[in-house]
Structure 1
């Protein structure tokens, strides 16, 4: 089963978009990583989490199906009507912090209609598992549906596929301005005494 067969809001394009945002945030943190000024694996992890949150929050301003429910350290966002979080780790080995549901998630589940709740048990959790190499670089992003501690659906997001639109192609005021025609001519030569010919 694919995520979009599990829930219609979890389309392939949307999951790839979120994975690309996560990748961009982690790469921004890696670009700033400098052990010579005191950066450590801990600071890299903190910045990667913060930058990934920032990428998703900024994208939510221009993507209609993406909404931030909880901007705190328990960062929760909606893909359509599905509340989602991300964590660093393997998809089939979530830690206890990953398994906790935030108030935002629980409240969002109350908005599902009865037919959707049949497909989504009360304990289903939706997560992006971010797998990293020893140097902190991104190895894989997997979308995971958890039922309790058990992954019932895992789908590795293809990171090399292009994303349709993350930011708007047109923003207000980007039409340009009217300029007067330029003056065209041959420049005058100056004499040694500073006067023009």
Structure 2
């Protein structure tokens, strides 16, 4: 099963778009990392979280399917109606903090109708697992649906694929506008005395 078979809001393009925002935020934190001024793994982690969160918040302002439920340090956003969070770690081994469900997530999940999603678990948690290398760079992002403490569905997000916005080339009812023929010629130069060539 794929995430979009579980819930149609979790489309392939949307999951890739969120993953790319997470990668961009982490890369910005890595660009600023400088041990000579006191940066440590802890400061990198804090900045990576803040920058990733910022990328998603900025994108939500212009994206109709992306909304921020909780902008605090317990950051929760929605993809369509599905509440999601991200964490650094392996998809098969979520930590205790990752397994906590925030009030805004519970409230959002209570809005689902019985026919809206394919049931994998009673209270699903939707997470993006961000795996990193020793230097902090992103090696993989996996979309995870957790049931209890175990993943019930994982999907590795391809990070090298571009996301394209699909827009129609022709919109029904949009008629062209008739324009007069353009006047084409060499412009005349005016002399300083007001006469032209």
Structure 2: distance between partners of 1:151 and 1:75 = 20
Q: TM-score, normalised by structure 2?
A: 0.82
Structure 2: distance between partners of 1:117 and 1:110 = 12
Residue 118 of structure 1 and its aligned partner are, at CA, apart by 5.9
Structure 2: distance between partners of 1:94 and 1:88 = 9
Return 5+ residue gaps in structure 2 as ranges. 166-188, 191-197
Q: TM-score, normalised by structure 1?
A: 0.82
Give the corresponding residue for 2:72: 72
Contact (CA 8 Å) 1:127, 1:143: kept in 2 or not? yes
The number of aligned residues is 167
Query: Per-residue CA shift, 1:39-60, capped at 9, x if unaligned?
Result: 0000000000000000000000
Give the corresponding residue for 2:132: 132
Q: After TM superposition, where is structure 1 displaced by more than 6 Å over at least 4 residues in a row?
A: none
Query: Per-residue CA shift, 1:18-68, capped at 9, x if unaligned?
Result: 000000000000000000000000000000000000000000000000000
Contact (CA 8 Å) 2:85, 2:128: kept in 1 or not? yes
Give the corresponding residue for 1:152: 152
Structure 2: distance between partners of 1:108 and 1:25 = 26
Structure 1: distance between partners of 2:2 and 2:114 = 21
Contact (CA 8 Å) 1:144, 1:153: kept in 2 or not? yes
Residue 116 of structure 1 and its aligned partner are, at CA, apart by 2.5
Return 5+ residue gaps in structure 1 as ranges. 166-183, 186-197
Give the corresponding residue for 1:23: 23
Structure 2: distance between partners of 1:112 and 1:69 = 16
Structure 2: distance between partners of 1:145 and 1:73 = 21
